[in-house]
Every structure is written in structure tokens, then in C-alpha cells.
Amino acid sequence: MRVRARHPLRACRAANIAVLVLALVWFIPTLGLLVSSFRERDQILASGWWQAPLAAERTFRVRADAGAAVTEGGRHVIAGNVFANDADAAMPGRVKAFGVSSRAPAAFGTGLRADLVGGGSLSVGADGHYRLESPRAFGESAPTIYVRATMPPRFSLDNYRRVLADDVMVRPFVNTLAVTIPATVLPTVIAAFAAYALAWMEFRGRGFLIAASAGLLVVPLQLAFVPLLKLHQGLGIGQGLVGIWLAHTGFGLPLAVYLLHRAMAGVPRDIIDCARMDGASEVQIFSRIVLPLTYPALAGCATLQFVWVWNDLLVAKVFLPPADGVRVMTVAITDDLLGSHGGDWGMLAAAAFISMALPLLVFFILQRCLLRGLLSKAPEWR
Amino acid sequence: MADLRLAGIGKSFGAVEILKNINLHIEAGELFVLVGPSGCGKSTLLRMIAGLEQITAGTLEIDGVRMNEVPPARRGIAMVFQSYALYPHMSVRQNMGFALRMAGQGRAEIDAAVTRTAHALQLGSCLDRLPAALSGGQRQRVAIGRAILRDPWVYLFDEPLSNLDAALRVATRIEIAKLKQAMPDRTMIYVTHDQVEAMTLADRIAVLGCKGIAQVGAPLTLYRKPRSEFVARFIGSPAMNLLAGEIVQTGEVTMLRLARGGGSIAALVPTCPGDKGRRVTVGIRPEHMYPTESATHALAARVELVEVLGEVTQLHFAPCRPGGQTVIARLPGIHAGLHGRTLRIAAAPENLHLFAEGRSLLYR
Amino acid sequence: MPPLVMALMSILIGVTGCVGYVYFSNLVLDRVIFPASGQTCARNIGRANLVRPWLFLFPALAGSMLYLVFPFAGAFWRSLFDREGDAFIGFANYRALGADHVFQGALANSLLWVLVVPAAATCLGLIAARLTDRLRWANLARAAIFMPVTMSLVGAALIWKFVYANDADIGLLNAIRATLGAAGPLDVLQIPVWNSFFLMAVLIWTQTGFAMVILSAALRAIPREIIEAAIMDGADATQIFLRIEVPQIKGTITVVWTLVTILVLKVFDLVYAMTGGNFGTQVLPGFMMGVMFRDDGRASAVAMVLMILVLPILAWNIGQARKGGD
């Protein structure tokens, strides 16, 4: 009997299925928001996003246009279409049933004639055309028509247009960039110097400082807020960009030092020694040998800091003034959109995706660097 | 010309003492090899000479000038590292020119020097490659070339051949020997744990043991007249056989009886009358052993394993008790069919070494 | 000045300032204070080398002193004073906290978060890393799992509010329940105790991708020979994973664990955006933000408690740094 040799580490079907499930569970919530960001507010509320590609059944009401009333043979007639509004006109749905009161919004099938309470009748066709007839004039208040219709799936960029056009997110986007870039570059540069000293210079207290940098990693930021805010006010910086740059720089240092120290300590000792023998000064060893060799770690470290600052809400809330001018995106989303536009899911979703775009891009470009920066010792020396 | 004087040099990390009271005088223009088992501190000693480790005791002088506090680059020393320590992000050209650039030389000048040296080392075609694209041998040559370019008075080599394969190791060893011949006035200090490298390259060898320097001398002195059992076993391959024996007659020629031999054999080591009856260790190098029919032999033992190498045959004799030391004899030529036989082995009197308490009786 | 221009200016000033500082301070040290020439040359070089590390360290040292160490020390001091900060009251703030039921709830929740989230994210990340490693469509799966990493917690909160929504026509969770025949929609964010886990799920969801990416790189760095030796020894895939691979990447696992823990400690956004700390989901950072501007003494005491919570990780990290540092 021949036994088929199988590599023991080859993925089996169970692994495939497990990964599929995992990936779906991870992706579906985001997909939900993504789909919703292309839908309209009432669609979002009417049916789950997973039904978005299907025709959705929607019940709505239309007030007949009293101004369009005409008299035909002594009877007052209003003719029109329930899908007349701008959004619906392009892709009209199909009426399944209609009614004349909110209690029975779908009492009549299409083609039937419904009697109005005050006399007269209403008929609605499947294509949405309705005809109201009454012996008396409609006056100011035309009757309300209740319609249950299947609407075709509809996607639009409206939410994005609104978010970008209203200046809801453009200004915060620029602000976020303005906060993030210096708050990424500064701590990385400062930490690189310190990490070099910790990794390759000998001095008393070095072990203590390395330990301290690891310890500071877990100091809760919150406790620094009150004293620092006072300090900033005392220095005349107050709340503003400079203040938040300094704050993010201070808060980001421990992690940057921690990661860069690991990376720099991974440079082979012989290479540093060789540079010393070649007559390079410490500044030269740092700039010409260690920096180029730990470039991926620097990029990785900067990426982490970038994403952390970009997504930060807490520090921004404390160190930026509450005024509109310098609001960042996370604050704009939580306060503005969740507050004033509360429940406008479509707009929120679009805003969330705009805020996600840049970090996602940065991450995928710098993914390789990030990995090498976080892995303690690069395996490809020599 | 530069000679090095190490006086009472010691190194300790905190309370741990690694090297203690090392005294050496390395002559100008010699190739001096520091050899010893791994972990004996020979690399640390080299790094102290280079200035990469602080000297915690004693003084180091190069050309009569105290160097303890002088930074590495100002000691007039170049070093070839075991791992080559090429800068991975620089091309061969940049690697070789780095020290000159640090010294502030002009670009054109550096370029000319690099090109000249690279061609001499057959590296001309890979000047613009990164170290990762080079073979092991090429990297080694870049490391050496980098040192040559600085034209120092003293070269330090830290086990430069240990990362090469056997054939390349021999070739590079010969290149280093030629390099030394080409610059007779430069001093070279070479650290290795391989006694073949030590024997073939050195003008003088220092054998470093755990307790400091065991012996300093020319290669053949170390081979012929080892000061201690440690040196005797370290120099020569396969290692010297050490057999238990007893002195039965003293004088210019000492007569001995070995535990596993028959009759008394002669050793050309002078002893004084008080030594009679003293238990000693008798050392015989494998290549000095020969089979004999005579009743007075050093050793009679059963052949347990035969290794026929072509030019020589190595016989491994069974130890006298299980777990004991095997004895190896190296006979010229091909000797097949000896397996399982019991042989009598003897050695010439001038090839016998006597040790008491680990120290040679020659040096008293 | 538009903020972006200001940002670029600040980078220019900051970076040139920093680099210039290190360059020139070294220059001054070597040329002016301890010149490497003359009779005292060797001694001067030695002295300069004693000072030099501190030149490199100074900006970082000053930054972290000012922004972390002093506030931390100050917070401890402040926590011993009353609301106005005038009267020294010893440990009364801590005693008051001990008696506060809201605080106890927040403390219990925080403990739960610190224990559950890093463990779950690391484990899931490790499993995902291992499983995706040998798949053909690994990159696709990884991208899906990784995407939440780049999101702000506010964005993640939004996404999951959508999933948890108390309406079978909006919330996926309730839609699934409805399909399975459960009666009526359920607001999972209001079920006591369990709601905390639903919140944690969101953070785990964002952090698993991070753990996965790093751990899978670590897994790939394990020499092939070791794995092959284990195959020859008859180990099956699970045994290889648990007994060979996991012990090999222990260091990376702990780094990931630490990084996730740090994030958990600072997590305020998520709870704030999803439940506002109501329904018994409050965590210490949120609780602290609540009392911060009312009673600084109390808030500082909360921060101290938060610190104590992470002391084990801190001690472990310091131990690691000690081992690797010297």
C-alpha cells in the first residue's frame, strides 16, 4: 500500500477553515461600516447593511402635492408619483401596497382603489403613479399617502461628499497632520540619541537608565495632565499645537527609547569596535554606522508613534483648546458628529474611513520596517 | 618600528578577574601569536591592546609610550575582526576607505589608495558591491585590506580564519604569511585557538592558559621543550600522550618504568639523585612512537581503532582501564590489519618528556 | 500661520535644533573643554568620554523627566492633599477611594481588562500568525486581521456600536439573534458584567492584528533546521508549535504582551465612546477623568492605583532590561 507522504507542517483543511472564519470575523464589522458609508441615512435605519445589495422593502409616506390639483369633470384630481423626490427619481422602486392611514399603511394592493375618509379615493400603481380623486377641493392639506415599496439597492458617495464639503473633516484632517508629523519626528530623533548612548556608551547608571526607560513605558499618562497643563500655562504655551507636540514628544519617548535601544543593541559589537578603531568619533559612529543600520527600526518606531498620535483622543482633548480651529479628527468625530449629527451613521462611517486612510497607507508601506523595528535582533546580520 | 610591552596587565569585570599579571614583550616586526583554549581571555587581551577594553591593572606601552588611556584610533593599530565587522550598509570601497575618511584625507587620495590595495588583494571587481554580496573569502580580504590601507605599525588579528571553510583557511593563512613577509617591519599580533595556525605563522607564540601565560617561545621550542603538561598537550596534533611512570635511575639520562610497559626505558632528561622513585608523567608525541619487538618498551596495548590516512596511520590503543585515556601512535606509511593485535611501542630517549605536578623536569 | 506650515517649521527647528545640539555640544566638549592635545591629551579624552553619554541623553532625559517623572512624583505628592490642594490629609484620599463603590467597580473592571485583553490579543495573534503562515492566501487573511490596528479607538467604537446596535435592522449581532429565533433585540452593552467583555472584544479585535504581524515575523525567524529536527523527531504540528516555536519566540511574545498592556492602561477612548462608562463598564482611566477637574487629590490617587496595577509588568520589564542591558 502506498502511503502518501505529506509534509507535517502543510496547512490542513481545518487550518484553512479556521483562518477563513477568523478573517471573516475580523473583516465583517469593518465591512459593515464601509458599506454603510455608501448608504443613505434612512436606508441604514431601514435595513441591515448586509441587505444593502438586495432590494430593500421600505415603508414611507408621501404628502400629495396640493398645488398640482386640477379639476377634471367636477372632480378634484391630484396625479403624481410617490418616487418623485430627487433621490428616488433616478432609481424608482416598485410599490407593493399602499394605505391611507398610519395604522394600516399597506392595506391595499396596487391597482386597488382605496376610499378616503373625507370622501374620494386613491389608487397607486406599481410604478409609483398615484391618482387622488375627491369631490371636494383638497385645500391646503392634501392627504398623506402611505406606501410600502421595494427599493432597489443604492449606493452613493453622498456621505463622503457631505463630510468633505461641509468642512466637517477637511480642517480636522489638516490639523491632525499638523499635530502628528512633529509629534512623530521629534520623539524619534531625541530617542535615537538616547538609545545610542544607552546601547553603546559606557557610563555609571546606564543599567539604571535602561531599566527606568522600560519602567516609564507603563506610567499612566493621565496623571501628567493636570500638572503639565499648569506648566504649559505657566510657560505661556497654553493649549495649542506647541503644547501638544511637546506632550506627545514627552509621552512617546519611553516607547521610542525602548524600541530603538533594543534595535541598536542588536548591531554587532565588532562593527562598533571596528569603527572606533577606524577613528570615528561617537557622533560619527552614531550618524554613519548605527543610524543607517537601524534605519528600519527608526521607521518602525516612527510608524507606531504616528499611528498612536493620529488616533489619539485623550491627549488631544486635554492639550488642544476646545475651539473649532485646531480640532483633530478623533475629537471632531466624537464631539461633532456623534453629538450634533447624532445618529447620522452614514456620515460617521465616511468620516471614520477618511480618518483611517492615512495610517493604513503608512502601515502597509512601512510594514517591513515596522517588523524589523519591533523584532529584537535582526536575523540577517553578517 | 613598534614594539609592545605589557607589564603586569590585568583585567577584571567587577569582582571577576579574567586576566592577571600578564607580562609580555613583543618585538618590533615579529608575528606574535597568542594561542590558548577558548575562554582563557586571549581575545580580551587583544582588545585591551587595541584599546577597546579598559586596562584595569598594569601598563601597556607601544614604542615606549604608555597607551593605557589613548583611544583606539590613536594607537597606530589596525585590527581584523573574527566576524570581519564589515559595515553592512557600505560598499567595499566605502568600507576600505572609512578609516582614511575619518582621518580627514581627501577623496581622490582615498580613492587611489583603495583601488591600489583592492587590486593587490584581487578585490578590484567587487569594489562597488555590498559586503552581503561577497563570498566568505572576499569578505576576509576586504577586512584585511581595510587594515592594510591604514598602514599601521601594529596589526591585530582576532581569529581571522575561524569563519572560513577548511580549504579557504589554508589559502588565507598562506596569504597572511606572505603579507607579513612583504612588510617585515610591521608588528603583528595574532589570536587563535588553532595550534596549526600558531605553528605555521608565528615567529613566537604565547600559550595562554587559565592561570595566565603558560609559555612564550618560538614554535619549535614549544614543540620540543614544553614547559608544562598544558603546553605539551596544546601544541601538536594529535595531542601528546601522557603516561604514568616512575623514575628508577637518575643522572644525565633518566631511566623510567612505565605502568604499562616492559623493562626500563631511557629519557634524555637530566634528573638529580633525589628524584629516584618519584612518580612522574611521561609524555610521548604520537608521531614519535614506533612499534618494537624489544622487551624494553614503553607501552604494550591492544589496537582498538586504526585510522589509515595515507601518508600516516594512526593507531588508537585501548586504555588500561575503562574510561582511561586512549593512547595514539602515528606511524608513517600504511599499516593495515593491525586491528585487535597487541603491539609493543617504544620511543627514542630524546623524544620523551617528563612532567611532575604538571611541570616539565627540563625547567627546574 | 496655517497649522501645516507651522508643523513643518517645527520639525525643521526641532530636528536641526536636536542634531545641532548633539553635534556642537560634542564639538565644544572635544575642542574647548577637554581638548585632545597637549600634555593632558589622554586624560582629557577620558574625561570627555565621561561627559559625552550625558550629552546624548540630555534631551530625552529632560523630556521624560519633565513629562513623566516629575508629574508622576508630583501626582503622588498631590494625592496626599485634599481637594483644594491646601491641607495635607495623608492617605485619606486612598481610604475614601476604598470606600467608593464606583471606584471599586472601575478597579475590578481595569483588573479584568489588564488580565484579559493582552492575553487574548496575544494568544489570538499567535494562533493567527501560526495558521496564516502556511496558507496560500495568507496575505489576504492577514490584511483582514491587521486592518483594525490602524484604526483609532473612536473609529473602532463606531464600528462595533454598529455591530452591537440594539436593533435587528442595524446591529449584526441582534440580526443574528433574530435569525436564530431569539425574541426581541438585546442591548449587549447593558447586560451587567458581560458588557465589559463586549467592550474588551473591541480592543482585542484591534490589537490581534498587531500581535499577529509581529509574532509571525518572529516565527519566520526561527531557523528551519530546528523545525526540521523536530519533524524528524516525530513531533506533529501542534507539538512543534507549542514545544518548539512558542518557547523560541518567548521574548517577542512578552514584548507584544507589554505593548498591548500599555495600550489597555491608556484606554479611555473606547469606553468613553461606547458606553460613556455607564452600566458598570467604567475603567480607572475613565473614572479618573471624571474626578480630575473636580478633585485633583482624588484623581492623583486613582493614577497611583493604576500604577500599582501594572507594577508586575513594570518589574518584569525592568528585570528584562537589566538582563539584556549590561
Q: How far apart are CA B96 and CA B84, in angstroms?
A: 12
Are the Cβ atoms of A276 and B72 closer than 8 angstroms? yes
Q: Please name the chains neighbouring A, where neighbouring means 3+ C-beta pairs under 8 angstroms.
A: B, C
pLDDT at B195 over 70: yes
CA distance between the termini of chain B: 36
pLDDT at A338: 65
Domain final residue pick, B185, B212, B234: B234
Question: Is B225 in the same domain as B298?
Answer: no
Q: State whether C24 and C157 are in the same domain.
A: no
Asked if B330 contacts B254 with a C-beta cutoff of 8 angstroms, the reply is no
| Domain end position, chosen among C43, C78, C113 | C78
Q: Testing the interface with A: which of B43, B67, B83, B153 to mutate, by most A Cβ within 10 A?
A: B83
Examine the domain organization and report whether C7 and C141 are in the same domain. Answer: no
Q: How many CB atoms lie within 10 A of CB B342?
A: 11
Q: What is the pLDDT of residues B343-355, one digit of tens each?
A: 888 899 999 999 9
pLDDT at B240 (0 to 100): 92
* Cα A161 from Cα A167, distance rounded (Å): 10
Instruction: Give per-residue pLDDT as tens, B250-300.
Output: 888 899 888 877 788 888 888 888 888 888 999 999 999 998 888 888 888
Contact A314 C269 (CB under 8 A): yes
State whether residue C242 sits within 8 Å of chain A by CB: no
Q: What is the ipTM of this complex?
A: 0.83
Question: Could you identify the residue written with the cell 606572505?
Answer: B178
Length of chain B: 364
Q: Are residues C27 and C171 in the same domain?
A: no
Cβ C169–A48 below 8 Å, yes or no? yes
**Residue B66 shares a structural domain with residue B194:** yes
CB B36 within 8 A of CB B208: yes
Domain ranges of chain A: 57-152, 161-374
| pLDDT above 70 for B233 | yes
Over range B23-49, report the average pLDDT.
90
CATH number (domain holding residue C250) = 1.10.3720.10
CATH code for the domain in which residue B161 is found: 3.40.50.300
Whether A48 sits inside 8 A of C170 (CB atoms) is: yes
Contacts of C45 in chain B (CB under 8 A): 69-71
Mean pLDDT by 10 residues, chain C (326 residues): 77 85 84 74 77 89 87 82 77 81 85 90 91 79 83 83 78 81 76 84 90 84 83 82 85 83 78 77 80 78 81 74 54
Q: Give the CA distances from residue B210 to residues B20, B207, B219, B336, in Å, rounded to whole numbers and listed in that order.
A: 10, 10, 20, 41
- Name the DSSP class of B186: S
DSSP 8-state code for residue C196: H
Burial of C92 per CB tally in 10 Å (0-12, 13-18, 19+)? middle
- Give which of A330, B336, B159 is closest to C272, Cα–Cα: A330
Q: B317 is in which domain, residue-wise?
A: 241-360
Cβ neighbours of A228 in C, within 8 Å: 67, 71
Contacts of C67 by beta carbon, 8 Å cutoff, 6+ apart: A224, A228, A246, A247, A249, A250, A251, A253
Contact A367 C145 (CB under 8 A): no
Domain containing B352 — which CATH number? 2.40.50.140
Q: Quick one: pLDDT at residue B25?
A: 93
Nearest Cα to Cα of residue C326 among B267, A210, A142, A135: A210
Based on the domain organization, do B173 and B286 belong to the same domain? no
> Mutating which of A200, A267, A277 best tests the B interface, going by the most B Cβ atoms within 10 A?
A277
Distances (CA, A) of C259 to A299, B69, C324: 17, 43, 18
Contact assignment for C7 to A363 by CB distance below 8 Å: no
Distance, CA of B4 to CA of B54 (rounded, Å):
17
Residue B38 exposed, middle or buried by CB count within 10 Å (0-12, 13-18, 19+): exposed
Confidence of residue B218 (pLDDT cuts 50, 70, 90): very high
- Structural domain total, chain C: 2
> Does the beta carbon of C53 lie under 8 angstroms from any beta carbon of chain A?
yes
Domain boundary among B234, B256, B283: B234
Domain-embedded: residue C103: yes
| Tally of domains in chain B | 2
Cβ-defined contact of C43 to B69 (cutoff 8 Å): yes
Q: How far apart are CA B137 and CA B161, in angstroms?
A: 9
Same domain assignment for residues B329 and B194: no
> Angle of helix A222-235 relative to helix C70-78, nearest 10 degrees?
110
C-beta separation of A62 from A122 below 8 A: no
What is the 3-state composition of chain A as percent helix, strand, coil, each rounded to the nearest 5?
A: 55, 10, 30
Q: Which of C6, C72, C154, C316 would you mutate first to test chain A, the one with the most A CBs within 10 A?
A: C154
Residues A232, A249: Cα–Cα separation, whole Å = 14
Rounded to an integer, what distance in angstroms lies between the CA atom of residue B232 and that of residue B209? Answer: 12
Å between B70 CA and nearest CA of chain C: 5
In this structure, the answer to whether residues B162 and B42 fall within a common structural domain is yes
Residues B90 and B124 in one domain: yes
Query: Half-sphere exposure of B41 toward its Cβ, with a 13 Å CA cutoff?
Result: 23
| Partner A contacted by C306 (CB < 8 A) | yes
Q: For residues B221 and B250, state if they share a domain.
A: no
Residue C154 sits in which domain range?
Answer: 95-325
Q: Provide the shortest C-alpha distance from residue A181 to chain C (in Å).
A: 7
DSSP-assigned letters across all residues of B30-86:
-EEEEE--TTSSHHHHHHHHHTSS---EEEEEETTEE-TTS-GGGTTEEEE-TT---
* C240 in the same domain as C147: yes
Of C74, C152, C304, the CB nearest to A227: C74
Residue of A nearest to B80 (CA): A274
- Rounded to the nearest 10 degrees, the angle between the axes of helix C41-64 and helix A170-200 is 150
How far is A95 from A187, CA to CA, in rounded Å?
62
Q: How does strand B204-209 pair with strand B187-192?
A: unpaired
Indicate if C227 and C276 belong to the same structural domain. yes
> Distance between CA atoms of A142 and A82, rounded to whole angstroms?
14
The set of cell numbers assigned to A151 is 427599493
Sheet containing strand B241-249, edge to edge, reads B264-267, B254-258, B241-249, B279-284, B352-356, B359-360
Q: What is the pLDDT averaged over residues B129-145?
A: 90
Longest dimension (CA), chain C: 93
| Whether B198 and B258 share a structural domain | no
Residues C65 and C172 in one domain: no
Same-domain check for residues B303 and B206: no
Specify the DSSP class assigned to residue A334: I
State whether residue B225 is helix, strand or coil. Answer: coil
C40 at the B interface (CB within 8 A)?
no
Give residue A344's Cα distance to chain centre: 14
Backbone angles phi, psi at B339, to 5 degrees: -55, 130
Distance from CA of C196 to the nearest CA of A (A): 19
Q: Are residues B168 and B273 in the same domain?
A: no
Placement of cell 493604513 in the chain: A360
Query: Distance between CA C131 and CA A17 in Å, rounded?
Result: 10
Number of Cβ within a 10 Å radius of residue B349: 15
Q: Which chains touch C (3 or more CB pairs under 8 A)?
A: A, B
Same domain, B25 and B169: yes
At A360, is the secondary structure helix, strand, or coil?
A: helix
Chain C: residue whose CA lies nearest to B68? C42
Rounded to an integer, what distance in angstroms lies between the CA atom of residue A343 and that of residue C170?
Answer: 12
Statement to judge: residues B117 and B219 lie in one domain: yes
Residue B291 has a CB neighbour count (10 Å cut-off) of: 15
CA distances from B126 to B141, B148, B343 (A): 11, 18, 58
Going residue by residue through chain A (382 aa), what tens digit of pLDDT does each one get?
A: 444 445 555 657 778 888 888 888 888 888 888 888 888 777 777 777 777 777 767 777 777 777 777 887 778 888 888 777 656 666 777 787 888 777 777 778 777 777 777 777 888 887 878 888 887 777 666 778 888 887 777 777 878 888 787 667 788 888 888 889 889 999 999 999 999 999 998 888 888 888 888 778 777 777 787 788 888 888 887 788 888 888 999 989 988 998 888 888 888 889 999 998 988 888 999 999 999 888 888 888 888 888 889 888 888 888 888 776 778 888 888 776 666 555 677 788 888 888 888 888 887 777 666 666 555 444 343 3
Q: Which of A19, A193, A276, A314 to mutate to test the interface with C (most CBs of C within 10 A)?
A: A19
Which SS3 state, helix, strand or coil, does residue A122 take? strand
CATH fold, domain A161-374, is MetI-like fold (1.10.3720)
Identify the residue with better confidence: A40 or B84.
Answer: B84
Task: Provide the 8-state DSSP code for A340.
Answer: I
Distance spanning both ends of chain A, measured CA to CA: 48
Do both C208 and C74 map to the same domain?
no
Residue C30: CB atoms within 10 Å: 19
